[in-house]
Amino acid sequence: MNKTKQLLLASAVLTLLPMGAQAGLINGGFESPSFTPGSPDVSFIDAASLPGWNTTAADNVIEIWSDGVLGVPAYEGTQFAELNANLVSTLFQDSDGIASGSILGFEFAHRGRLGIDTLRLDITDLGLDGVFGTADDSLLFSKEYADGNQSWGFYTSAGEAPIVALGNTVRFSYVSVSAAGGNDSVGNFIDAADFGVGVAQPIPEPMTLSMILAGLVPVYRLSRRA
Ligand SMILES: [Ca+2]
Ligand SMILES: [Ca+2]
Ligand SMILES: [Ca+2]
């Protein structure tokens, strides 16, 4: 477990989701299924065989790398994914049961493959119809992250404006924006993706909204199920 995640989870409290609701991404570290332990390789599998994850790729293929392939270490565990399997792709998960007004936190690791690659995290409330891409969608958060191929970048919601859930299905999308190398099958490694859910905390005087937005005051605590 990395240091930042320990910090985030150190403040975890009881789950605030209804019974049966999901807290956190499923298989966010791409460790399941486990491929060829001790024999590093790259595996192309149908998204249906990868717990939790879906892809926008027309061939429905997700690419899993083992730790150390071509000199690239996993950020956590022994496996990670490349957003661009055979095609420029978005990997995503939908989560239900997050109460309206909940504060969403996130974290993930990103790395370029051949140079500087750019990933965009979109967090979208799918609206009453529960369908992505329709008029009632609300984009709750969107930000691009650029990383080179010499080290992993690790990002969290710390310091971001509060991301407030609206009570419908929430989609977490990791979008391949651009990649070095000019090949649709190359770019944007991802690992250790997760989210947490909390509630806004009462703000004691004399703390002000501006202080919160400046990241000086924690206003939520993350909760997460294993
Ligand atoms: Ca992993
Ligand atoms: Ca690929
Ligand atoms: Ca919708």
Q: What is the pLDDT of residue 169?
A: 98
Q: What is the pLDDT of residue 198?
A: 84
Q: What is the pLDDT of residue 4?
A: 41
- pTM for this structure? 0.81
d(CA 46, CA 59): 8
Q: What is the pLDDT of residue 23?
A: 73
Q: What is the pLDDT of residue 41?
A: 82
Give the closest residue to 92 by CA, choosing from 150, 132, 138.
Answer: 132
Ligand 2 (ion): residues with CB under 5 Å are: 63, 82, 85, 185
Distance 188 CA to ligand 2 centre (A): 9
> Mean pLDDT for each consecutive 10-residue tract of the chain (226 residues)?
39 39 86 79 94 98 95 96 97 96 96 98 98 98 98 96 97 98 94 89 57 54 47
At 94, the amino acid letter reads D
- Helices (H), ranges, the chain: 3-10, 209-213
Distance 79 CA to ligand 1 centre (A): 4
- Cα 134 to Cα 89, 99, 125, 168, 186, distances in angstroms: 20, 21, 11, 13, 30
* Nearest-ligand number for the alpha carbon of 186: 2
Show me where the domains of the chain are located: 3-213
- Its CATH architecture, for the domain 3-213, is Sandwich (2.60)
Distance 187 CA to ligand 2 centre (A): 7
* Nearest-ligand number for the alpha carbon of 77: 1
- 21 and 96 Cβ atoms separated by less than 8 Å: yes
Q: What is the pLDDT of residue 36?
A: 72
